[in-house]
C-alpha cells in the first residue's frame, strides 16, 4: 500500500499531534487538581498543583482554534466500514460537546480567577483579568466550572470507550485514523 493511501485513511499528522497534545494537557490538568487534595490547604505544593492546573487548562484554549480549523477545513478520513447513521450522529454531537468543553472550561477558569481577584498564571506571565473582582460571582463561576469538570470525566470516558468499541467490537478504522504512527487497517491487508 502506498503512503498516499495510508494518508487517505488517516488524519493529517498535525491534527493528530494537536489531538494528543490536547488530551495530555486535559489529563494533566485533571490530575493536578485532584492531586492537590493530598496536600494541606495553603501549602506550597498544593498551590503549585493549582497553578499547574490553571496553566495546563488554559493551554488547551490556544490549541482549540487550529484544531477547529483543521477539523472543519481539512480532510476527515472516512470510517471503514461505515458505521450506522445513529452512530455518526452521536459521534458528531459528542465531538461538538468536547469542543465546547475545551472552550468553556479554560474560559471559566480564567473568569473564576479574575472574579476572585487572583493572578492568572501562564508559564511566567500573568494574564489580564476578564472581569473586576467579585467574590460572589467567583464562587458561582467556580461551582459551574466544577460541575462541568465532573461532566467532562463522563464525556472523555465516552469518547475513549467509543473509540475502543469501534476498534475492538466493530473492527473499523476509527481509532487508527487518529493513532500516531499507525497505518490504516487497509494497509494491513497486504
Is residue 189 domain-resident? no
Q: Could you give the CA distance from residue 75 to residue 184 in angstroms, rounded to a whole number?
A: 15
Q: Which residues contact 126 (CB under 8 A, 6 or more apart)?
A: 119, 120
Is residue 185 domain-resident? no
Tell me if residue 150 falls in helix, strand or coil.
helix
Is residue 123 domain-resident? yes
Is residue 26 domain-resident? yes
**What's the pTM?**
0.88
| Residue 93 near residue 158 (C-beta atoms within 8 A) | no
Domains held by the chain: number: 1
Task: Encode the chain (190 residues) as per-residue pLDDT tens digits.
Answer: 333 333 468 888 899 999 999 999 999 999 999 999 999 999 999 999 999 999 999 999 999 999 999 888 888 899 999 999 999 999 999 999 999 999 999 999 999 999 999 999 999 999 999 999 999 999 999 999 999 999 999 999 999 999 999 999 999 999 999 998 765 333 333 3
Residue 20 belongs to domain spanning: 3-179
Is residue 190 domain-resident? no
Is residue 184 domain-resident? no
**Residue 128 belongs to domain with CATH number:** 1.20.950
Amino acid at each position: 500500500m502506498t503512503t498516499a493511501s495510508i494518508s487517505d485513511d488517516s488524519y493529517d499528522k498535525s491534527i493528530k499531534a494537536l489531538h494528543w497534545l490536547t488530551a495530555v494537557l486535559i489529563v494533566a490538568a485533571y490530575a493536578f487538581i485532584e492531586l492537590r487534595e493530598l496536600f494541606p490547604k495553603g501549602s506550597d505544593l498544593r498551590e503549585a498543583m493549582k497553578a499547574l492546573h490553571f496553566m495546563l487548562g488554559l493551554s488547551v484554549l490556544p490549541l482549540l482554534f487550529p484544531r477547529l480549523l483543521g477539523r472543519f477545513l481539512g480532510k476527515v478520513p472516512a470510517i471503514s466500514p461505515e458505521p450506522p447513521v445513529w452512530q455518526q450522529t452521536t459521534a458528531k454531537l459528542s465531538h461538538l460537546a468536547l469542543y465546547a468543553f475545551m472552550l468553556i472550561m479554560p474560559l471559566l477558569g480564567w473568569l473564576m480567577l479574575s472574579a476572585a481577584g487572583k493572578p492568572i498564571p501562564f508559564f511566567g506571565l500573568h494574564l489580564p483579568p476578564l472581569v473586576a473582582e467579585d467574590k460572589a460571582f467567583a464562587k458561582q463561576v467556580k461551582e459551574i466550572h466544577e460541575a462541568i469538570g465532573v461532566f467532562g470525566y463522563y464525556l472523555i470516558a465516552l469518547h475513549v470507550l467509543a473509540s475502543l468499541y469501534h476498534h475492538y467490537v466493530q473492527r473499523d478504522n476509527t481509532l487508527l485514523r487518529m493513532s500516531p504512527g499507525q497505518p490504516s487497517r487497509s494497509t494491513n491487508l497486504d
